[in-house]
């Protein structure tokens, strides 16, 4: 039941980005972070969750992309390129079920989206107006993101399961 509510929220919340972009982004990222804690309570198998989670992630990214292209025309090409990289990863994953494609085509889109959104929300500036700041943050974000993609999709580690040694009660395959 709780997982179902979170799934419904993950479908509805991205549509609300037009009303409060920063708040909706925080909520969307939060829901993505916590949904696993409810899915692993004998609701889904680990594989089912990963497939479903990727579809819900892509729904969020699609809504964020449409918002970015319309609201931030000066970033249209950058956001299109990053969104296409993520789309390639999703298509290849759907075709092959190999998670390694998420490492080869990492999700820089969401991180750059947040970077631009934070710049506009809190600094009231276009972050690309400050190239040194933007590129420094971009390189940092990319390095962290590559490690995260490797950790999750190549090594297939989970902080909760592998680092904290927390057992999850996934439905059997």
Burial level of 139, CB count in 10 A (0-12/13-18/19+)? exposed
Handedness of CA 48, 113, 17, 147 (dihedral sign): positive
- pLDDT for the residue numbered 122: 76
Average pLDDT over residues 46-73: 95
- pLDDT for the residue numbered 173: 77
| 64-74: pLDDT as tens digits | 999 999 999 98
- pLDDT for the residue numbered 127: 57
| 79-109: pLDDT as tens digits | 999 999 999 999 999 999 898 999 999 999 9
Contact 67, 114 (CB under 8 A): no
Largest CA distance in the chain: 52
Among 21-30, 41-50, 156-165, whose mean pLDDT is lowest? 156-165
Average pLDDT over residues 23-39: 93
Helices H, strands E: what count in the chain? Answer: 7, 0
- Alpha-carbon distance of 111 to 123, in angstroms, equals 17
Q: What's the distance, Cα to Cα, between the start and end of the chain in Å?
A: 21
Residues contacting residue 40 through CB under 8 Å, at least 6 positions apart:
46, 49, 168, 169, 170
Split at pLDDT 50, 70, 90, the class of 58 is very high
76's tokens = 């249209």
Which of 165 and 8 is assigned the larger pLDDT?
8
Radius of gyration of the chain (CA): 17
| 114-166: pLDDT as tens digits | 988 988 887 666 555 666 666 777 777 777 777 777 767 776 766 566 656 67
Report the predicted TM-score, pTM, of the whole model to 2 decimal places: 0.85
- pLDDT for the residue numbered 162: 63
- pLDDT for the residue numbered 147: 76
């Amino acid at each position: 039941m709780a997982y179902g509510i979170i799934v419904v929220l993950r479908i509805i919340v991205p549509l609300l980005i037009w009303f409060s972009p920063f708040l909706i982004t925080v909520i969307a990222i939060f829901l993505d972070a916590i949904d696993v804690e409810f899915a692993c309570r004998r609701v889904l198998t680990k594989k089912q969750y990963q497939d479903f989670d990727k579809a819900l992630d892509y729904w969020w990214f699609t809504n964020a992309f449409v918002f970015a292209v319309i609201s931030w025309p000066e970033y249209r090409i950058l956001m299109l390129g990053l969104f296409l990289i993520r789309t390639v990863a999703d298509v290849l994953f759907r075709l092959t079920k190999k998670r390694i494609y998420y490492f080869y085509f990492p999700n820089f889109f969401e991180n750059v989206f947040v970077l631009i959104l934070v710049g506009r929300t809190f600094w009231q500036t276009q972050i690309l107006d400050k190239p040194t700041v933007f590129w420094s943050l971009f390189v940092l974000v990319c390095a962290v993101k590559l490690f995260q993609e490797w950790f999750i999709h190549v090594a297939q580690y989970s902080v909760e399961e592998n680092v904290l040694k927390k057992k999850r009660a996934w439905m059997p395959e």
